[in-house]
Chain A
């Protein structure tokens, strides 16, 4: 696995299987909200729909752009989310209400991730593919 889109898709499948409560909460938070995520030029747009996270096309309500190195720095505790946003290492654009729901969705995703044993393996693969590229 070399790309962010593959990692995100696989992680959502793991979340659905190993922590369905978090997956459902994630879907509720993103119900009717299209979030476009751009990591080093790879782009994916997701939304919540009837208890499922789906990849969709269309004009996004929330635009999030960052780099793989920033994601790894956040996971490893070398950066904070607030600090990275204020320094434009994570760029966010959207209406306030939908930004709040996006943050709630991120919290749901992380609460599920730390309870999903297989997700740690995915993260190791994502990290090592970065180390070799």
Chain B
């Protein structure tokens, strides 16, 4: 992205990606907010998520998710951080949770995170390569909506260490988003979303796709595919222009559950992740096709805001093939990605 584009994107992010969490107001409105980073490569997937939420007694809670997928499958940690080890301020793009940090400065996000036992350690800088996209009022059924800011393409410099093995992340493409809202885990909603980034920064196309459902997955509330060429969002396909086709069910030999204690409440390897998923969209002469083949599942189980139950967040690593024609330009690429299947 050229200097002018980088400056404009940086200004937009500074105005939109700031923390909404209020340290002054404490209410029972169940405010939730998180910053999410995802990097996918043939040899490793890295997920970093830093979340703020309210407990049932209205006290604040901070949670770090650091997951890595390599040849040995998913590993990592979802842990709660004591509030006295959290530093965050409304309106800033910066947060510290124990020894894990993220902030935005001069057109780049900086992320440092490690598991409590030190077995996984990641540090990277991610330079913004697209303009952000902000979507307000994502329908979650009855109750307040979700808000979603995405920066779908960033160029990474850094490394991840997994049990003593160092992997360079230099030149990888990353995805970042920031979600916030006042809603209840366990509510009447589900979503499936993912992103398609090419294996090389020389390929200018990036896509994000999403489908919102009711909790039972009976009714589709909204769906869309968002397309960027280089820095700019160039197409949005919505609703009836988008088709989903699932086939089969992924029969995972094992499913990693995070945190592990939730496996006592929700054991087993049953999953509703399909064996293959094809998402296509067409409008006028433009079209895109995304084909995803899941492989490994990490299940994050978040206690519902009700006295019982859990929200199931399935982070699914797999191979993605993406092709399209936009403004008479044809393109295709294959890469790995992590797609999220969530049921509220």
Contact = CB atoms under 8 A, between A and B. Distances in A.
Interface in B285-307: 303, 307
Given A25-B307, A111-B307, A117 B260 contact: no
Given A18-B57, A19-B56, A74 B264 contact: yes
A115 B303 contact: yes
Contacts of B303: 111, 114-115
Given A110-B265, A117-B55, A76 B260 contact: yes
Nearest to A113: B261
Interface residues of A, number: 21
Contacts of B41: none
Interface string B201-230: 000000000000000000000000000000
B241 interface: no
Interface string A66-80: 000000001111101
A22 interface: yes
Contacts of B262: 114
A110 B80 CA distance: 16
B144 interface: no
Contacts, number: 45
Contact of A117 (B61, B261, B263, B308): B61
Contacts of A55: none
Interface in B256-288: 257, 260-265, 267
A87 interface: no
Interface in A81-98: 81-82
A2 interface: no
A21 interface: yes
Nearest to A80: B267
Contacts of A107: 265
B113 to A, nearest CB: 19
A10 interface: no
Among A21, A77, A82, max chain B CB count under 10 A is at A77
B61 A77 contact: no
A120 interface: yes
Interface of A: 18-19, 21-22, 25, 74-78, 80-82, 107, 110-111, 113-115, 117, 120
